Amino acid sequence: MRLVLTEYSVALVLLAVLLVLFGLYLSWTATRLDRLHVRLDAARVALDAQLLRRSTAALELARSGLLDPATALILAAGAREAQSADPDEREAAESALTRDVRASFEDPTQAQQVRAAHGGPELLDELGRSLRRVQLARRFHNESVRAVRQLRSHRLVRAFRLAGRAPDKPNFEIDDDPPVALAR
């Protein structure tokens, strides 16, 4: 039995192969987009954890008795506000905490006095580490947002609605520059 292919049947086979390849490409793109969304969600959870860790470290330092009462009060109030802020006010509260920490250690002698006290080096080191981790977590989160937005902006992703109903996540923009006394 001999198979005879006409021009019409060759075109149909070619069209079928192209449709399968296009479907595979769409499936690969949808899977990639899904993985980017998962990575973005994980980055947001990590950022939230680091922000909580930073506010906890600031609160511990404020409650330690190693700071003067006014500085301790300002730092504790900023940390509590950051921990209890609504999602709409979170960026502003976290930026305010950063400014409070910077103001607390504006004078380098303040950090030296705390380091000289019993338990002070551990508290300052923890606060300094948490400040750096917040910077890294925020950068990683914003990079994940950028990657998701870039892929979602492609015409095929929009045309075939490969993003589904996943909401577009915003960048997390805060002032996260640590004070010079705690930066390493």
User: Hey, where are the domains in the chain?
Assistant: 50-167
Quote the pTM value.
0.90
- Per-residue confidence band for 184, with pLDDT thresholds at 50, 70 and 90: low
For 139-176, the pLDDT digits (tens) are 999 999 999 999 999 999 999 999 988 889 999 999 99
User: Does position 1 have pLDDT exceeding 80, yes or no?
Assistant: no
Tokens of 12: 């149909």
CA gap 98, 78 in Å, rounded: 9
| CA atoms within 13 A of residue 175's CA, in its CB half-sphere | 12
- Rounded mean pLDDT, 102-127: 94
Instruction: Give the least confident one: 74-78, 118-122, 127-131, 165-169.
Output: 165-169
Residue 7 backbone dihedrals phi, psi, to 5 degrees: -60, -35
Residue 130 backbone dihedrals phi, psi, to 5 degrees: -65, -35
- Rounded mean pLDDT, 51-55: 98
Cβ 57 vs Cβ 75: under 8 Å:
no
